[in-house]
Every structure is written in C-alpha cells, then in structure tokens.
C-alpha cells in the first residue's frame, strides 16, 4: 500500500503572523462519494488519490449513497474484513479520525441449543476433517484506530484502537487498548454514529469519541470526549483502519457504514500532554514550594515534597483549581511496599470534600470526602506491585466514575456519583515512598482536532406542533375518533387487532396475556408534510411486574402506503432481562424480519411505568429516542441501498408482532411536529394513496 507522507519534526507551512497557531496538515481525507461495487473497494483510490487497502476475503466492502458499506461475514473473525490506509510513521501529534455507524454494537456469536445427537454429529464431522470441534465465540465486533498491520488479528494488542464489545442487556461497551489490555470506557453504547479520534504521543496514544446530540455519555461534534490514555507502545509504522469481526446474530443481517476517514498532523497536539488543561511531569525542580505546573497554574503544596528524575516524591499533597471539571486524569505511579498514591478531583479548594482514588501496595479505595473523613464508595484488591511503574487513570463524566490500573477496571464497574460534579479542584498526594510522574488532567470535552463537523446526515428537529392527541373521549373503538387539534380521523389501516379509547384517557390495545393482540395492527391519521416528521408517543406497558406474562410491542409507524412504511416499536417481554427499540422496514412491498435493526436498552422500560418514544424522520433517515435519549440512527438506504425516498402520508400507532404479541399497551399521548413553519406539501389523505 502506498505510504502516506510523513512530516515528523516540523510543519512545512508557516503561520501568517508570528505567534499564530498552525492548523492541522491533512495527509488523508476520504468521504466515499464514489459508488463502488462490493468487493472492488480495495485497490481503489479516494478523491485525493490515497490508495484504499485492507482485507476483504468475502467481497463484503462496497461504497454507495455517500458512505462505505461493510456487510456481514459468512465466517466471522478478525483479519477478514477491514479498510486500511497507510502506512504512516509514528510521530507525536499525528491524528487519525473515523466517522462510522456500526451495524449493531451487540453483534456477537449466538448458537441455538443442541440436542445430544446434534452435538455428537458435529464432533464427528469436525474430527473427520481434522478440526477441533469447539465452536468459536465472537463478542468484539468493530475496531477503529491505528494498527500495526492492515489486517490485525488482535486490534487491542496490535496498535492503538477502540473496540466495540457486545453486552447483551446493555447493547455494547466501548473498549480502548491500554497496555495491551481492554480498558472499559463506557457501557450502554447506543446504535448511533461514532466519531472516533486517536492522537499519537511521544509514547502511546490518547483516544476521543463523539456522537449525535443529546447523548448523555458522549458530546456532539464539534466537541469530542477524552476517553483513555495508552502510555505504551511505539510502532515503526501504523495503518488507519476500520475492521469488522462480526455483524448481527441469529440470522439478522446488519451493515456498517463509514462516512469519513482522516489523517492529519496537528502541531499543537505534539506535546506530551496533548489536550490536558493541567499537566506536570514532576521530573525537575527540586523541593516543591509554590510550584507552577507545566499547564494549569500554581500548585498549593502541603507536606514535604520534591521533584526529581523519578517524579514527585516525599510525604504530602498538591492541589490546584483547573479551568473546568476533570473528565480524564492519568498518571504514571510506583510505590515500594506500604507506599500509596492518591488522585484527587471534584474539589472546591484545599481541605474541601473531594473524590479520591487511593491506590497502594495493599489495595485500592474510591472515596468521597476530606483526607480526614471520607465515605467509601468502592474497594478493590487490585494493588500496585512494589517497584513497578503503573498507568493509573480515572474517567469522570459528572454522573459516573471509573478507575483503571494498567487498563484493568479497579472496582468491577462504574460508580454512580454526582456530588460536586462541577467542582474544578484536582490534585495528587504521595505517601510511604510512592512516586508520581506525568500527571495530566483533561476536561470532559475538547474541540475535535480534525473533521469537526459530522459527516453523517443530520435528522430534523421538530419546532412547529401540528397536532397533540391525548386520547380523551367517549370510551369505545379508536376507529373514526378525531384528534382535538387538526381534526384528523383515526383509521385502522392494517391488521386484525383493536385499539379502544378507555376511561381516564388513552388508547389501549384490546389484548390480555391469554388473548394477545393477533399480529401487527396499525392505526393511522393523515399527514401533509411527507418529508418532515418529528413524532412522540407516551406509552404505558401492561402489567406491573415481571412474571405476569405481559408484553409491550407498542410503537410508531411512518406510513406512505401499504407497500412502504417504517416501524419503530419497543420490545418488553418476560423471557429476556433487557428491552429494545426495534425498527422494521417495508419497501416496495418487501419486508424481511432479519433486516430489522434494534438497540438493546437494558431496564429503561418496565411494566406499568410510562415512557416516551420519539422518531424524527425526513423520508430518508431517522433517529429514535427513548425518554429523550437518542437510541438508534439509521437511513432506509442503509438497509436497502436502492430504496426510493419515502413520503410519509400517514402517522400511526402500532401493536407489532416481534417474537410475540402485545398484551394491552396503552397509548397516552401523541405529539406531531414539523421542522418548518411552511404550509403542507400535500393535501391530507383520508384514503390510502
């Protein structure tokens, strides 16, 4: 593969004025605006002439509709499907960025139960072919970053990458490669676009990510969140790569889309601490007294401390107020037997209550309070090895805390903690001969260094209310009822089930556990803005607790005609310890259940508790929200590449059939908005077009 140019050591461009900042020097930018058949991408070139390399054993990679497409492998595994560029030389300040929509973060191997006869038959067949009969299991599905080869067999150990790991109840986890291990960055990753950025440093790399607006875990471009620091690894050359191991499960087919790839050199990120607002290497300066940090201002010192070749040492602590709340704190630490290091954040000032991560050769504690009196939040037996240098880092988003030692999570999960979330004080203390060097504190978000605008098409946001239906009226069938605002008449347009207006308000599915709704049922009203829909519905799942055999399959329909419509519904059932937002596509009269796309949503929906489902759709792409949180983003052409733009002529309620039927969901409110103030683009339809 053709190597990208290297500019290590200097930037050939000069600022227009002395002291002016030098912007990124672009080495590669690929936006996939050239349609290319499946199997023909590798060897083609981007618009700027960069060669596209990688591996495509089964011919699953193509380009259409302005994005790269990665289709499911018949035989899953790393090193079989991936796009790669480069090589590039390792140099501080080199930035790699990818904007991608993973097919499904919960993609993983799933085997149906076997009878004893089936097991024996499989063993006999495998041994006859000279193979071990064990069946492979794949739970990591997507890798993005800078890797040591064009087809890495283990992306977490071969370079600097972020990897998506399937977790059944909570959909997906984002892992970062740190010290050759997976550092668990965040869980509950929703099926939304991701902008992943990796910045190389003197040694190792720092990782960032962003997504669509209103996500609680990641910011929206042009901001991005610092996620983890890998202080290890120096590779002679690296390749920007997007690699797929597995997509979908149990027969479901879901494609990944890549919108943009970039490689650039950013001189302002070539420093050892990149985006840190507080940083100090502590390797020079002698005794500590009113020490000025390399970034962040003056330290307030207590005790007897000194800085030397091995870092901060002595007995005492340092604190200062950062420019904003800390999001990522990292340090290299070591201690003899009995030694201890404490990282401090969320302090209001010296001696104030703060969040404290205390790690020593006897174990680790997460505390909240003062040095004299603190509440224990979590405890771990993980410990510092005497005389060994460790990578210690803390992630803090203001709601949850996680701590990691050499990439391993210290407390087996995330600790919920919102006290003093906006406090800016940070610090470090050492005891018992412990030493700390290369302390850096990064904010919760920073400007994206390259490609600051999202390359994925935006979905609309409704501003003008067109109707607001609370389903209050004389009890009886919903058929022929009219909305209060807009005067729209309800009609059952598909299925044999029934929705009834009930006392106290609401439209309830006429069903029980013993007599569930008979398959898909759709009720709809006319709509006059075919490419401008922002629809919200409040639903009440039937029942009050697990074990009552109640199911929710309620949701929304964006309906053109009987041959073309989009379904978004919620799935709640006794038999799985998770819920989901599921989407189904009928295009040109064709619909295949295995083309469904869904997001697992944990326990965010439960029996007897109302929730809101929202869908914003422009006829081409949509974003689905659950209780205000973006949950699933997709374009119809991501599923069916040749699908025409849909024209929404009706808005509907659905009791869907999805691995079971609804048993009595109640629709409490339906609110429809458009983005613009303009008049209708079409006349209302009382009959199907």
381 vs 276: CA distance, rounded Å? 30
More confident residue, 480 or 386: 386
- Closest CA relative to residue 211, chosen from 598, 621, 629: 629
Which token pair is 661? 């039927």
Cβ atoms of 340 and 432 closer than 8 Å: yes
Cβ atoms of 672 and 550 closer than 8 Å: no
**What per-residue confidence (pLDDT) applies to 233?**
84
**What per-residue confidence (pLDDT) applies to 15?**
37
Confidence band of 20 (pLDDT split at 50, 70, 90): very low
- Closest CA relative to residue 403, chosen from 352, 350, 367, 447: 367
**What per-residue confidence (pLDDT) applies to 75?**
92
Confidence band of 125 (pLDDT split at 50, 70, 90): low
Asked whether residue 687 carries a pLDDT value surpassing 50, the answer given is no
What's the whole-number average pLDDT of the chain? 92
Q: How many other CB atoms are there within 10 angstroms of residue 465's CB atom?
A: 13
Asked whether residue 8 carries a pLDDT value surpassing 80, the answer given is no
Spell out the domains of the chain, with CATH numbers in brackets.
Answer: 25-111+123-269 (2.60.120.200), 278-447 (2.60.120.560), 464-674 (2.60.120.200)
- Residue 611 bridge partners (DSSP): 539
DSSP β-ladder status, 611-617 and 533-540: antiparallel
Asked whether residue 22 carries a pLDDT value surpassing 80, the answer given is no
38 vs 35: CA distance, rounded Å? 10
pTM over 0.95? The answer is no
CA distances from 663 to 439, 512, 519, 578 (A): 56, 5, 11, 18
CA distances from 96 to 85, 86, 91, 348, 619 (A): 10, 11, 12, 36, 33
597 vs 633: CA distance, rounded Å? 10
**What per-residue confidence (pLDDT) applies to 688?**
43
Asked whether residue 436 carries a pLDDT value surpassing 60, the answer given is yes
Question: Tell me: the pLDDT tens digits for 511-565?
Answer: 999 999 999 999 999 999 999 999 999 999 999 999 999 999 999 999 999 999 9
**What per-residue confidence (pLDDT) applies to 412?**
87
Confidence band of 286 (pLDDT split at 50, 70, 90): confident
Q: Which helix (H) or strand (E) holds 118?
A: helix 116-128
């Amino acid at each position: 593969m053709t190597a990208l140019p290297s500019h290590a050591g200097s930037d050939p461009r000069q600022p227009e004025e002395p002291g002016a900042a030098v912007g990124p020097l672009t080495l590669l930018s690929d936006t996939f605006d050239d349609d290319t058949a499946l199997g023909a991408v590798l060897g083609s070139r981007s618009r700027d002439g960069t060669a596209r390399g990688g591996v495509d054993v089964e011919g699953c990679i193509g380009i259409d509709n302005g994005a790269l497409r990665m289709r499911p492998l018949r035989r899953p595994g790393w090193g079989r499907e991936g796009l790669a560029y480069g090589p590039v030389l390792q140099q501080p300040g080199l930035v790699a960025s990818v904007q991608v929509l993973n097919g499904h973060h919960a993609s993983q191997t799933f085997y149906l139960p076997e009878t004893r006869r089936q097991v024996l038959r499989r063993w006999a067949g495998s041994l006859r072919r000279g193979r071990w009969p064990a069946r492979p299991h794949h739970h990591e599905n997507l890798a993005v970053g800078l890797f040591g080869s064009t087809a890495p067999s283990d992306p977490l150990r071969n370079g600097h990458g972020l990897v998506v790991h399937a977790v059944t109840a909570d959909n997906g986890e984002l892992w970062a490669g740190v010290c050759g291990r997976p550092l668990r960055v965040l869980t509950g990753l929703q099926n939304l676009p991701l902008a992943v950025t990796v910045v190389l440093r003197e040694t190792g790399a720092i990782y960032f990510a962003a997504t669509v607006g209103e996500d609680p875990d990641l910011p929206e471009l042009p901001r991005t969140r610092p996620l983890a620091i890998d202080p290890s690894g120096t590779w002679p050359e690296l390749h920007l790569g997007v690699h797929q191991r597995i997509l979908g499960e149990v027969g479901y087919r879901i494609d990944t889309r890549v919108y943009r790839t970039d490689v650039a050199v950013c001189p302002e990120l070539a420093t050892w601490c990149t985006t840190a607002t507080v940083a100090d290497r502590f390797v020079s300066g002698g005794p500590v007294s009113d020490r000025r940090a390399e970034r962040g201002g003056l330290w307030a010192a207590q005790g007897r401390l000194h800085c030397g070749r091995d870092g901060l040492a002595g007995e005492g602590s340092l604190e200062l107020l950062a420019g904003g709340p800390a999001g990522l704190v990292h340090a290299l630490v070591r201690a003899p037997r009995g030694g201890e290091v404490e990282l401090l954040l969320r302090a209001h000032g010296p001696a104030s209550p703060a969040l404290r991560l205390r790690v020593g050769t006897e174990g680790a504690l997460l505390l909240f309070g003062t040095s004299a009196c603190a509440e224990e939040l979590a405890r771990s037996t993980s410990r510092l090895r005497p005389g060994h240098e460790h990578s210690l880092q803390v992630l803090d988003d203001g709601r949850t805390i996680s701590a990691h030692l050499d990439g391993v999570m210290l407390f087996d999960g995330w600790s919920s903690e919102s006290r003093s979330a906006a406090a800016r004080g940070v610090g470090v203390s050492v005891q018992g001969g412990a030493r700390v060097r290369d302390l850096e504190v990064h904010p919760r978000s920073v400007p994206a260094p390259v490609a600051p605008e999202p390359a994925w098409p935006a979905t609309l946001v409704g501003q003008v209310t067109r109707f607001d239906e609370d389903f209050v009226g004389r009890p009886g069938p919903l058929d022929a009822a009219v909305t209060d605002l807009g005067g729209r008449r309800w009609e059952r347009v598909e299925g044999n089930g029934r929705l009834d207006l009930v006392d106290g308000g609401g439209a309830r599915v006429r069903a029980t556990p013993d007599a569930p709704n008979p398959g898909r049922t759709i009720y709809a009203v006319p709509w006059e803005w075919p490419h401008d829909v922002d629809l919200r519905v409040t639903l009440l799942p039937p029942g009050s607790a697990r074990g009552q055999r109640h199911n929710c399959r309620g949701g929304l329909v964006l309906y053109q005609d009987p041959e073309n419509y989009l379904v978004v519904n919620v799935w709640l059932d006794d038999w799985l310890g998770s819920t989901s937002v599921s989407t189904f596509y009928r295009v040109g009269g064709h619909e295949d259940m295995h083309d469904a796309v869904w997001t697992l949503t944990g326990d965010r929906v439960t029996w007897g508790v109302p929730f809101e489902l929202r869908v914003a759709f422009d006829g081409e792409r949509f974003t689905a929200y659950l209780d205000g949180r973006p949950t699933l983003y997709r374009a119809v052409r991501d599923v069916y590449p040749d699908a025409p733009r849909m024209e929404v002529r009706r808005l509907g309620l659905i009791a869907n059939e999805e691995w079971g039927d609804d048993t009595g969901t109640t629709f409490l409110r339906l609110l429809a908005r458009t983005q613009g103030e303009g008049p209708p683009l079409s006349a209302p339809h009382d009959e199907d077009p």
